C-alpha cells in the first residue's frame, strides 16, 4: 500500500486545494441530482404508462 503525502492512504487523501467539506458537498449534490433525475424519469415513465 503506498502512502500519500501526509502519510495516510493515498485514495483517502483529498486533492490539493479541496477540503474534505468540499468533497462531501460535491458528493451530496451529485447524489441529490441523481435522486432528482431518478424521480423525474420515474414520473415520466408513470405518466407514459398511465
Predicted pLDDT of residue 12:
57
CA 23 and chain centroid, separation: 8
Percent of the chain with pLDDT over 90: 30
The answer on pLDDT for 15 being more than 80 is no
Query: Which triple of cell numbers denotes residue 33?
Result: 441530482
Predicted pLDDT of residue 20:
78
Q: Does the pTM of the predicted model rise above 0.75?
A: no
Reported as a single tens digit per residue, the pLDDT across 31-48 is 999 999 999 999 999 999
> How far is 2 from 14, CA to CA, in rounded Å?
15
> How far is 22 from 4, CA to CA, in rounded Å?
19
SS3 21: helix
Amino acid at each position: 500500500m503506498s502512502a500519500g503525502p501526509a502519510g495516510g492512504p493515498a485514495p483517502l487523501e483529498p486533492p490539493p486545494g479541496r477540503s474534505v467539506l468540499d468533497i462531501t458537498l460535491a458528493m451530496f449534490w451529485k447524489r441529490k441530482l441523481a435522486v432528482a433525475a431518478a424521480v423525474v424519469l420515474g414520473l415520466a415513465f408513470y405518466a407514459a404508462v398511465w
